[in-house]
Amino acid sequence: METRIFKTKELSEKTLAAAKKQAELFLAQKKRKPTLAVVLVGDDPASHIYVGKKTETCKANGLDALDFHLTPADGFARLEELVNKLNKRDDVDGILVQSPLPKDWDEEKIQALIHPSKDVDGFHPENVGALSLNTIKVLETGLPSCTPAGVMEILKEGGITLRGKHAVVIGRSNIVGKPMAQMLLSGDATVTICHSKTTDLEATCRRADVLVAAIGKARFVTKAFVKPGAAVIDVGINREMRDGKAKVVGDVDQESVTGVASFLTPVPNGVGPMTIAILIRNTVRAAFNRSA
């Protein structure tokens, strides 16, 4: 079977172009650009790269970006103080606190501290509840969790029908697994969530017409997990050392599933660019929603 490898460069560019158009409209109406505040704690190299990419993408698409860098020595209370100040700033539309935070810092408390109207990650309990109550509305006009919302755009662009299909999500995190399941349900799929305690994981996954891998284990999903003709979405971002060099790989063993799956998102150049594109879209939405 031929496997369609779906790279998201064109789709992410299309999503960003639409967001840029809206950002320009906001500037014309409100005389300022939609603005995202990004907070980074510590010196994690990967986080620095992600923050730099987000800032660069904001500025390239008609948004302003404000970067704030704290050290672990500043303490958790300093982070709380900063988030509270950003909540009160009228010129800040979105707030993103980059994960991971230092060990023993309460990440859920910070997610709940960010005002729901500025929660462009979609992690605040109010936004999580809104997604549960009316998933389609949040996807269309609200602040959905960026990565699963990006997956939904990929499925739509790729012509993958969800209605009546069996979708399996490997992973039950609040960031990807749970919101992904709700979004797939909103597309009229029958959804199964699998995790580390699932009995006979391979057999469950082999029943999936759409398989979303978000388990955080490098090249974990092989052809033994994949129903012939299934669409496979790889959400994983893992770093492996090969020949003395670090390489980014997904949760799916691309070589193994090629020829079995009909549709596959690669890593890199798959879900990742869409996560950032949805973040930009969410920031512009937040700007309009706050000014309505």
98 assigned to active site = yes
- Name 262's Cβ contacts closer than 8 Å, sequence gap at least 6: 1, 2, 3, 4, 229, 230, 231
- Name 167's Cβ contacts closer than 8 Å, sequence gap at least 6: 181, 184, 189, 190, 191, 192, 208, 209, 210, 211, 212
**Type of residue numbered 229:** G
Of 22, 98, 111, 182, catalytic = 98
Of 33, 54, 165, 227, catalytic = 54
Distances in whole angstroms, Cα of residue 27 to Cα of each of 89, 117, 202, 268:
17, 19, 51, 33
54 assigned to active site = yes
251 assigned to active site = no
- Name 120's Cβ contacts closer than 8 Å, sequence gap at least 6: 36, 93, 94, 95, 96, 143, 146, 279, 282, 283, 286
Of 64, 119, 121, 251, catalytic = 121
Catalytic sites, residue numbers: 54, 98, 121
